[in-house]
Amino acid sequence: MRGFFLNTQNPSRDGSCLQKYLYFNLSAIKEKGTLTMARLTLDLGPRSYYNLGPEVEVALSVAEEPGLWGRSLPKPGRMLALQSVPGPQGSLHFNLQDVVKDWNGNRLENLGLYLEILAKGDRHSGVENTCDRLLRSLHASLLVVTLNPDHCPSSSRKRRAAIPVPKGSCRNLCHRHQLFINFRDLGWHKWIIAPKGFMANYCHGDCPFSMTTYLNSSNYAFMQALMHAVDPKVPKAVCIPTKLSPISMLYQDNDETVILRHYEDMVVDECGCG
């Protein structure tokens, strides 16, 4: 679901690029469903390896103390994330499962989020251009995944089915996790010019037989999970990438020649059981 930015402030003297109040309408979420994932995505703009701006710091907080509509807007409350971003460009992802769970339990607590982006540097380092670009290109979306509790039998209830359903089938299911690879940590920053790193991500989680139809699984994974439920000697279906995307890198070879190269299958976009 797309987020609504309700207030915008111009860059101020304290280095703040923008301060925005972000609200998501969660009325489409069924209260009966079990929340399994809530991920906020902030799109900072298209990737460019030639016009990198100064580093920015992204601060995300829960909005509190709303005041009266039309007179005052919510203020930043509990800090959820504080992250430095080179560029800025590409997308940032934040796990908001606990926050959305609280909001879904009490809709009156959904006062939105408070987003502030601070630019590090002075006018000569392109701070003003970076702020202007962010104001034009910033978008936010919230991906929420819920499961029907009817598809997650209670582990305390006796089952008559011949095939057992594993405990915790609604928790720790196969999905994508964030993993940022910083080339400096690998010692590659001396020859890779751009990017400084990338969000590679990884897949992890359980693939129980009872949930394979909901986890982007192949027919083979379904049959393997079925056979494992019947015979534990058969290996379980595993959580693997099902969709990958490429990245581009600008680097120097041994002759100090600058090369731009496209590398396929570097970023995990989706996960499933296989």
Q: Which pLDDT band, with edges at 50, 70 and 90, does 153 fall under? A: very low
Over the stretch 103-136, which tens digit does the pLDDT of each residue have? Answer: 877 777 778 888 888 887 665 556 677 777 777 7
More confident residue, 78 or 157: 78
Residues 6+ apart with CB under 8 A from 120: 15, 54, 55, 56, 57, 127
Per-residue pLDDT at 19? 83
Q: Indicate the domain borders of the chain.
A: 1-147, 150-274
Over the stretch 10-48, which tens digit does the pLDDT of each residue have? Answer: 544 466 788 888 887 777 676 666 777 788 888 887 765
Per-residue pLDDT at 162? 40
Architecture label for domain 150-274: Ribbon (2.10)
234 CB neighbour count, 10 Å cutoff: 14
Contact predicate 67/73, CB 8 Å:
yes
Is 167 a residue whose pLDDT tops 80? Answer: no
Q: Which pLDDT band, with edges at 50, 70 and 90, does 268 fall under? A: very high
The reported pTM is 0.50
Rounded to an integer, the average pLDDT of 51-71 is 71
Average per-residue pLDDT for the chain: 75
Task: Report helix, strand or coil for 27.
Answer: coil
Nearest to 170 by CA among 2, 263, 35: 35
Q: What is the dihedral of CA 155, 157, 161, 167, to 10 degrees?
A: 0
- Give the HSE-up count for residue 172: Cα atoms under 13 Å, Cβ half-sphere: 8
Is residue 97 packed enough to be buried (19+ CB in 10 Å), middle (13-18) or exposed (0-12)? middle
**Cα(7)–Cα(5) distance, rounded to whole angstroms?**
6
Q: DSSP characters for 67-100?
A: -STTT---EEEEEEEEEEEEET-EEEEEE-HHHH
CATH number for 1-147 (one of 1.10.3470, 2.60.120, 3.30.2420, 2.40.160): it is: 2.60.120
Is 216 a residue whose pLDDT tops 80? Answer: no
